[in-house]
Amino acid sequence: MILLIVLFFISVRGHWGYKEITKKLANLAQIGEKELQLCFEQIGRSICRLDVEKRILFFSKDSAKKLGLEETIQNIPESIKDSTMFISEEEYEKFRAVIQDIYNGSENGDCLMLIRYTDKTLHLERITYETIFNSDGKPARAVFTIKDVTEEYQARELAESAKSEARSVSEQLYRQMQIARQWQEVSETDALTGLFNRGGGEKRIRDFLQSNGVGLFCLLDIDRFKQINDMFGHGVGDVALKAMADCMRDSFRGNDVLIRFGGDEFAVLAKEIASSEVAKVCIDRFYEKLQNTNVPGLTGERLSASLGAVIIHEDHDYSFDDLYRAADSVMYKCKNEPNVRYNFYQQGSMPSV
């Protein structure tokens, strides 16, 4: 396009002298640069030009005023080292490195610089350049675009800060939930045996009954436990309680609810066991473990226990109290019958309170 314009002016040089032609071309160049500057201002950018051979930097009028510089600055970059637009030696070094890259033949690049305007405000500017080379392949000119990215980075930092704060709040909440769960576990755990205590166990049994699940409920206690405490001492009695809990863990499944109600009274809720045949396999396994357990200090004695079992069918109407009374009644019958370790509650023979 420019070539066509030049040819046009050459063709009419008979009517206009060379001075007029040069003036017209200069006016067109100024108009083109002004239009380009206006375009960049519309998208929030400024432009400036570097004459590499002459080491001259050209600013637009608005950019020069904003930065407190002359519109034309020679001997770049040394001549603006002491400019007020650089807030530190480090920022000047960034600018000097960009100019030196261009002098060394870099095709393009960019950098971030913190610049002080004449109104004393600080702005983060992204400076991008493209280098134009002459026919010999040497850098001739460079065009810079300058964009104020202060608000963009402030928004980004604010977003990162919000994310960091959210993460911090989330971590604090997670820690609080962990602490709450730990406290709940402590509050629902029997300190001596590690099984559920009465509160934790009863809650899980009530929830299970409300879900209409099927399963096996056993209530059991250690035979002659008072005599063990009296004869061998409470220390041995505590060891016996721990041994009882270990036998229960080894005999029932990991998702079964194992409970120490208090004293020598224990309970088991084994879910999804719907028949007495399967229940007998589990209970017999428990008694085999118990029979082979040696309790240190319990000289000449073996642990034994009485157990009352209730099969919970899908159509049951048990409350927790009903279930407990049913198992308790069977357990005490076993205690009073020779050679009977356990038995099952028969539906329909619910004992009264």
Domains of the chain, residue spans: 44-149, 198-344
Q: In terms of Cα–Cα distance, which of 341, 310, 343 is closest to 325?
A: 310
**DSSP 3-state assignment of 276?**
helix
pLDDT band at 194 (very low <50, low <70, confident <90, very high): very high
Q: What is the mean pLDDT of residues 133-148?
A: 88
Query: Rounded to whole angstroms, how far apart are CA atoms 282 and 216?
Result: 10
Q: What is the mean pLDDT of residues 156-162?
A: 71
Give the β-pairing of 45-51 and 139-148.
Answer: antiparallel
Question: What's the topology of domain 198-344?
Answer: Alpha-Beta Plaits (3.30.70)
Query: Rounded to whole angstroms, how far apart are CA atoms 316 and 342?
Result: 22
What Rg, from alpha-carbon coordinates, does the chain have? Answer: 46
**DSSP 3-state assignment of 118?**
coil
The DSSP-derived string for 10-54 is HHTTTTS-HHHHHHHHHHHHHHHHHHHHHHHHHTTEEEEEEETTT
What are φ and ψ of residue 23, in 5° steps?
-65, -45
Name the most confidently modeled range: 13-22, 146-155, 208-217.
208-217
The pLDDT value given to residue 283 = 95
pLDDT band at 113 (very low <50, low <70, confident <90, very high): confident
pTM above 0.85, yes or no: no
Tokens standing for 141?
């000119």
Question: What's the topology of domain 44-149?
Answer: Beta-Lactamase (3.30.450)
Predicted confidence (pLDDT) at residue 14 exceeds the cutoff of 60? no
Q: Render pLDDT for 54-77 as a digit per residue (tens, 0 to 9).
A: 999 988 888 888 888 888 989 988
**The total number of residues written for the chain in this structure:** 353
Residue 260 bridge partners (DSSP): 266
The pLDDT value given to residue 348 = 52
